[in-house]
């Protein structure tokens, strides 16, 4: 019975399951699974069902089952996933790349700043802010 895993199901969310070697591990994994599942549903525009008020377990399958609340903070999950950094490739003229490298340009920061300005979008809470945006653009224009 060494490899017996604990399984956690969310009856209101078909397809949202989690496993763990111990109850504690299964609980941690369940919080991650639930947070990601709800994030995906929100992103896809699917309605989020209300949480169970009183957990009900079919009496015929109750032996071996344990009902336990799983707490998540959807706004925190969304913020973390939406602000996750992703890699992207860009193509530049060789002379521009060389000049930027000589000046120690941080491509990620400059591109993020430029895209925010181009798209007329406010920075995310994790971005350095508009003051830095002005400094970066000014520095590039002056050098």
Task: Name the domain boundary from 49, 82, 115.
Answer: 82
Residue 120 and residue 66 in one domain: no
Residue 75 and residue 21 in one domain: yes
Residue 74 and residue 104 in one domain: no
Calpha distance 80→102 (Å, rounded):
33
pLDDT at 4: 63
Distances (CA, A) of 137 to 60, 64, 79, 119: 67, 62, 27, 15
Residue 75 and residue 38 in one domain: yes
Condensed to tens digits (0 to 9), the pLDDT of residues 35-92 reads: 999 999 999 999 998 877 766 667 776 677 777 788 889 888 988 888 888 899 999 9
Task: Name the domain boundary from 82, 113, 132.
Answer: 82
Task: Name the domain boundary from 46, 61, 82.
Answer: 82
The boundaries of the domain holding residue 116 are 94-142
**Taking a C-beta distance cutoff of 8 angstroms, is the pair 34, 13 a contact?**
yes
Q: Are strands 6-9 and 17-20 parallel, antiparallel or unpaired?
A: antiparallel
CATH of the domain at 57: 3.30.160.250
**Taking a C-beta distance cutoff of 8 angstroms, is the pair 97, 117 a contact?**
no
Residue 13 and residue 67 in one domain: yes
Calpha distance 39→79 (Å, rounded):
10
Calpha distance 41→46 (Å, rounded):
5
**Taking a C-beta distance cutoff of 8 angstroms, is the pair 17, 7 a contact?**
yes
Is there a domain that residue 88 lies in? no
- Identify the band that residue 2 occupies on the pLDDT scale cut at 50, 70 and 90: low
pLDDT at 5: 82
Provide the 3-class DSSP secondary structure of residue 46. Answer: coil
Condensed to tens digits (0 to 9), the pLDDT of residues 27-37 reads: 899 999 999 99
Is there a domain that residue 52 lies in? yes
**Taking a C-beta distance cutoff of 8 angstroms, is the pair 6, 22 a contact?**
yes
**Taking a C-beta distance cutoff of 8 angstroms, is the pair 72, 34 a contact?**
yes
């Amino acid at each position: 019975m060494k490899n017996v895993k604990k399984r956690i199901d969310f009856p209101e969310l078909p397809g949202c399951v989690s496993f763990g070697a111990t109850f504690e591990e299964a609980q941690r994994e369940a919080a991650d699974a639930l947070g990601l599942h709800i994030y995906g549903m929100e992103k896809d525009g699917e309605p989020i069902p209300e949480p169970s008020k009183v957990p009900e377990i079919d009496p015929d399958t109750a032996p071996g089952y344990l009902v336990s609340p799983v707490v998540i903070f959807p706004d925190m999950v969304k913020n973390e996933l939406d602000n996750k950094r992703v890699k992207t490739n860009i193509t530049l003229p060789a002379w521009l790349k060389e000049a930027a490298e000589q000046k120690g340009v941080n491509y990620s920061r400059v591109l993020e700043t430029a895209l925010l300005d181009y798209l007329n979008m406010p920075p995310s809470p994790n971005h350095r802010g508009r003051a830095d945006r002005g400094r970066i653009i000014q520095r590039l224009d002056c050098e």
